Chains A and B, each alone.
Chain A
Amino acid sequence: MTLGSVPQKFKVSIDRDQCMDCGRCIENCSYGVYRREGDRILVESRKCTACLRCVAMCPRDAITLIEKPVDYRSHPLWTREVREDIIKQARSGKIILSGMGNARDLPTVYDRLLLDACQVTNPSIDPLREPMELRTYIGKKPSRLKFRETESGDIELETKLAPNLELNTPIMIGHMSFGAISLNSQLSMAKAVKEIGTFMGTGEGGLHKELYPYQDHMIVQVASGRFGVNIDYLERGAAIEIKIGQGAKPGIGGHLPGEKVNEEVSRTRMIPLGSDAISPAPHHDIYSIEDLVQLVRSLKEATEWKKPVFVKIAAVHNVAPIAAGIARSSADAVVIDGFRGGTGAAPKVFRDHVGIPIEVAIASVDKKLREQGTRNEISIIASGGIRSSADLAKSIALGADAVYIGTAALIALGCRVCGNCYRNLCPWGIATQEPHLMNRIDPERGAVQVANLIKGWTLELSELMGAAGINSIESLRGNRDRLRGYMLDEGMLKILDVLPAGA
């Protein structure tokens, strides 16, 4: 081993004066950092992922964790990460796999957009007193309405309306499959969305029987592997989503390793026990925009045109014309997943380098659809790195109808964003199929936490809207006048169609 070992990422130490030797750190760490030898708890820092489960569970705050206790000679180009990736590939000759979303320190456009508020000339609205209309409908809107007068003199709507999803708040939970995450995580989120009156995605992992009671709040996904997809599954969902691409790994498929395909996962995905679940890069029945039309319509035809069909794409360079094509395909919503979108596992080079920011994708798609007169034909759902109610409000002001959250919902369940989702060892019971780990999540309590997060953001969104003198989400949508760019260049401002701060 001429390469030797690389410096450890974290150093864990126990304050022996504080420690009461309860052993909870040993019990809780699924990575094997702690072990007991005689009357002493020993620490093996190299195994630590900074998931912080031990820190959260230690009753005495006796654990300290330091990042990069030994660092390399600093260098602006040859960073620690770059050097370690090279060492890893020199050892293995393989593709580096990573978890969670883009981990590069790139500027976040959301953080350079500022929201507006009323002062003097137009009064702000107090959401305590005035009703705030946050109800959002996802799906096609008619370009005009036709009415007719009945014999009794009543007025009736003649226009046939397309099926829409009714959301009490413009926040949904995105697609995280059973297999990538545990059943208890899915159950927690399902209970939460049912309580709130919104929706969540199944991901490409089928719909587990225990989720049937929540099926009216589930969007079922059809991806290139077609796992778990049959007519029963399509009929159960409130809506159907075709996944073309994912922000964390645009252009490639997914591989659920055989180790994660236990009996339950096998049953739900309808694949043999222990076999790799491979989703090809393209859908092999979609090689063109015309073929996409055919898949959209095949799903509508199978469910007798009763369910909205969404198409999810990764935000890539040509996102606007692609979305314009989708708007003409009979699809009811386009989901755009930005380059910061999370994942259970993706090649690092894709996670960190492929795709574009969601903020610019929303703005350019909304603009293109308005130019082509098809904005009413399709709703825009934005996802990929939505962290707060501010990101939500800015997304809607840029032109989105609603957002999908993913990582934020997982953080509400305990996730500390350690990024080791692909190891099946998640100590928080989220990205794992191990029963003893998964049972760390109580779906009842998990549901309260996730619902609390959505409630908190919804309250904040009402306040932000009220402050801007807006009492309906419809009036915020695409309302770029309520945004200003701060330290954004002219090109970026033009794409976003936003004025600079002060203008």
Chain B
Amino acid sequence: MKTVRIDAKDMHYTPLNQKIRAAVADGAEEIILDNVLGQRFIGDGLKGNVRLIINGVPGGDLGMFMSGPTCIVNGNAEHAPGNTMDSGMLVIHGSAGDAVAHSMRGGKVFIKGNIGYRGGIHMKQYGVESRPVLVVGGTAHSFLGEYMAGGLVLVLGIGKDEAMTDRGIGSGIHGGEIIIRGEVDDYLLGIGAKKFEFTESDLERIAPIIKSFCEQFGYDPAEFLNTNYTKIGPASSRPFAGKYVWE
């Protein structure tokens, strides 16, 4: 495997991304970025099957518009990792800020710790291939999966008594599903969101995702496969159909 190492110390994001692109063009299969400290837009619009190992804390919009690559972050991430991402994978060995996986269309975002507000907001899906997945090991703040139009948000609540304690879950949701480990109080649901029965077939469906998440972070998947989940989806796929009358 061709590996390239880049020292990102004191480097602005534009030259950093230029170096990453040049390495990809040069056939690199793995790029290790050391001393990353707040550089935004790492992997922005990046294509291909390259693997980025990010040592440090990347700035906002990590992997935005990304199509294909995998980014492993050994640290926390800032605002909106996976923003409008098309395909590929982000694995964050820490927590992340607001609007994680905003408008994401495909690929996977795995967060070991917690995320901020508006996680998975306006996530969408298209066809069989483009079905985005956001898995949060810890918990999430308010408006999780707001305006969600597709895909899957899974919150495991590791180390928490209750996986979710913030309100506004799935407000305006009109597609996709939010699955939360354990019970979720009704008052935490946003307008337009509804609880559905979590069935054996649902568990079967998400089992490969749980296993893949556990593999990344070294958890034993057994405890997540032998537990209860709450499934939240849209009360209607046409939340605004009844709001208007024609002139």
Contact = CB atoms under 8 A, between A and B. Distances in A.
Contacts of A92: 245
B218 to A, nearest CB: 31
B108 interface: no
B79 interface: yes
Contact of A278 (B60, B83, B174, B247): B174
Interface in B212-247: 237-247
Contacts of A257: 238, 241
Interface in A236-283: 255, 257-258, 266, 270-272, 275-276, 278, 280
Given A285-B80, A301-B14, A276 B241 contact: yes
B110 interface: no
A229 to B, nearest CB: 6
Contact of B86 (A96, A99, A231, A258): A231
Nearest to B126: A270
Nearest to A422: B246
Majority SS at the chain B contact face: loop
Contacts, number: 135
Interface in A73-97: 88-89, 91-92, 94-97
A230 B18 CA distance: 20
A99 B125 contact: no
Nearest to A291: B79
Nearest to B104: A226
A94 B80 contact: no
A284 B99 contact: yes
B17 interface: yes
Nearest to B102: A285
A280 B13 CA distance: 29
B22 to A, nearest CB: 11
A270 B245 contact: no
B147 A280 contact: yes
Contacts of B118: 284
A255 B240 contact: yes
Interface of B: 13-14, 17-18, 21, 40-41, 44-45, 47, 60-61, 64-67, 79-80, 83-84, 86, 99, 102-103, 105, 118, 121-122, 124-126, 130, 146-147, 149-150, 172, 174-175, 237-247
28 contacts: A95-B245, A96-B244, A96-B246, A96-B247, A97-B246, A229-B84, A231-B45, A231-B65, A234-B65, A235-B45, A257-B238, A271-B126, A271-B149, A276-B238, A276-B240, A276-B241, A278-B147, A284-B99, A284-B102, A284-B103, A284-B122, A285-B102, A294-B40, A294-B61, A298-B61, A301-B14, A301-B40, A422-B246
Interface of A: 88-89, 91-92, 94-99, 224-226, 229-232, 234-235, 255, 257-258, 266, 270-272, 275-276, 278, 280, 284-285, 294, 297-298, 301-305, 347-348, 419, 422-423
